[in-house]
């Protein structure tokens, strides 16, 4: 039998041949929210919404393979079990730490291969797997849990995941009995209801000739306050507190339309909205009875006749007013202000021309498009002559705005649901006794 055939799977390292074998653990990835872990064995099956997958079809494949279903409805990925994936698929016996907190804590504790560390309590073993992978292959983890059933479940998982040779698991209430370790570890992590009661025992467990790091994980600020007091009393320095939050950003693509494109889209929306109206409503609007239509036509004719009479009266009154205006202006001309007197008749004649031009289409009952265009041009030319400007300067269109090229803008926003407060992380530094003595002498 070859060496690769008997290679034992471990969460602390990858397999050298990267091949799925009988008895190996595989993380089944269907989506980000749908993952599970299975142990591959001949003769067994995995059922999901896409169909049935035989374990025998998985054996011999490489980790990371995309495997289609027998029904052709979907596919899944076969992933190697890592501490990060184990955090997402493990059976929850307690509340656990997730990758954001785990990476943050390991960074501040300066964990690296070969270090020894205390963890209390073990819980579901989420953080334990990441610690062992980081301090492997020569480091060691001392983890403590006061609940016996959780201890038994965690010990079984450490053995199945190939981590038992780097983990020492004890059932112990460290707040009352302490860690029973001296001059052993480089770092300590306390996830306890009363971490201040275990600070003194953790101090004795640190290697006395090296600088060590301690971290406590507490949900309440009252716990933090009491822990700070205990750390100060035991001589820890560089005490800091952090709060780690997870925030996801949704990426959206927003198209930027030109003015013409935006107007065209608005027209299409209006047409769609009208088509979406109930059919009965449209029928009531379009299919009115014949009698109602005749009455409406008669009312419209009466309104047109009344408007025509009113327009004729307004035209007569306007012409009489213009005559009175011209008479008043001529009478009020002063010899000392000849320029104003000579300019006033020109403006009056222009206003008369404008009113006559505007009154002409009102006198006719059915004006044509051509006549309207002629009147508009004549009124424009008269207004131009009165103001002293050329006609082309008025009729010239304004320069168009710079055209905005259509493009897509990518923006991010926070979704409605956000993960709120988790817990406070308290960090402190243990200083060696030798350095403390030297500092006291100086």
Model confidence over 147-187: pLDDT tens digits?
A: 999 999 999 999 999 999 999 999 999 999 999 999 999 99
Among 34-38, 117-121, 324-328, 417-421, the minimum mean pLDDT is found in 324-328
pTM greater than the 0.75 cutoff = no
The residues pairing with 45 across neighbouring beta strands, listed in sequence order, are 54
Structure tokens given for 378: 């004549």
Q: Which residues pair with 54 in a beta bridge?
A: 45
- Which residue(s) pair with 190 in the sheet? 120, 216
Q: Place 333 in a pLDDT band, splitting at 50, 70 and 90.
A: very low
Mean pLDDT to the nearest integer, 287-311:
69
User: How crowded is the C-beta side of 235, counted as CA atoms within 13 Å?
Assistant: 15
Least confident of 97-101, 105-109, 144-148, 152-156: 97-101
Confidence grade of residue 29 (pLDDT, cut at 50, 70, 90): very high
Structural domains present in the chain? 4-85 (3.10.330.20), 92-246+422-441 (3.40.50.150), 250-266+405-416 (no CATH)
Give the list of residues 6+ apart from residue 207 with CB closer than 8 angstroms, or none. 183, 184, 185, 186
Closest CA to 186 of 13, 426, 11, 432: 432
Mean pLDDT, range 116-131, rounded to an integer? 96
């Amino acid at each position: 039998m070859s060496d690769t055939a008997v290679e034992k799977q471990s969460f602390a390292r990858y397999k050298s041949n990267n091949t799925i074998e009988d008895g190996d653990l595989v993380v089944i990835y269907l989506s980000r929210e749908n993952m599970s872990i299975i142990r591959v064995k001949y003769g067994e099956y995995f059922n999901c919404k896409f169909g049935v997958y035989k374990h025998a079809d998985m054996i011999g494949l490489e980790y990371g393979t995309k495997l289609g279903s027998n029904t052709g409805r979907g596919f899944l990925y076969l992933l190697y079990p890592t501490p990060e994936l184990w955090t997402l698929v493990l059976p929850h016996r307690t509340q656990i730490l997730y990758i954001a907190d785990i990476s943050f804590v390991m960074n501040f504790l300066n964990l690296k291969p070969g270090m020894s560390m205390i963890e209390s309590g073990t819980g579901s073993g989420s953080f334990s797997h990441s610690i062992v992978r980081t301090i492997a292959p020569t480091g060691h983890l001392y983890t403590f849990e006061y609940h016996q059933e959780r201890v038994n479940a965690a010990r079984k998982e450490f053995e199945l995941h190939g981590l038992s040779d780097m983990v020492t698991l004890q059932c112990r209430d460290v707040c009352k009995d302490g860690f029973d370790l001296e001059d052993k570890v480089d770092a300590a992590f306390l996830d306890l209801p009363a971490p201040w009661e275990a600070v003194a025992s953790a101090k004795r467990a640190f290697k006395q000739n090296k600088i060590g790091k301690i971290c406590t994980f507490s949900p309440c600020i009252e716990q933090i306050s009491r822990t700070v007091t205990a750390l100060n009393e035991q001589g820890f320095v560089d005490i800091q507190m952090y709060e780690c939050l997870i925030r996801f950003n949704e990426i959206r693509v927003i198209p930027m339309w030109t003015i013409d494109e935006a107007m065209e889209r608005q027209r299409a929306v209006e047409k769609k909205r009208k088509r979406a109206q109930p059919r009965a409503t449209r029928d009531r609007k379009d299919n009115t009875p014949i009698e109602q239509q005749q009455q409406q036509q008669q009312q419209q004719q009466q309104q047109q006749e009344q408007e025509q009479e009113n327009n004729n009266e307004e035209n007569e009154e306007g012409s009489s007013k213009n005559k009175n205006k011209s008479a008043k202006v001529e009478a009020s001309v002063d010899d000392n202000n000849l320029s104003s007197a000579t300019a006033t008749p020109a403006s009056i004649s222009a206003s008369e021309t404008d009113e006559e031009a505007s009154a002409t289409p009102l006198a006719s009952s059915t004006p044509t498009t051509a006549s309207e265009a002629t009147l508009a041009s004549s009124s424009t030319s008269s207004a131009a002559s009165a103001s002293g400007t050329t006609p082309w300067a008025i009729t010239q269109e304004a320069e168009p705005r710079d055209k905005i090229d259509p493009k897509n803008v990518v923006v991010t926003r926070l979704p409605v649901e956000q993960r709120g407060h988790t817990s406070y992380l308290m960090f402190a530094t243990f200083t060696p006794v030798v350095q403390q003595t030297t500092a006291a002498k100086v």
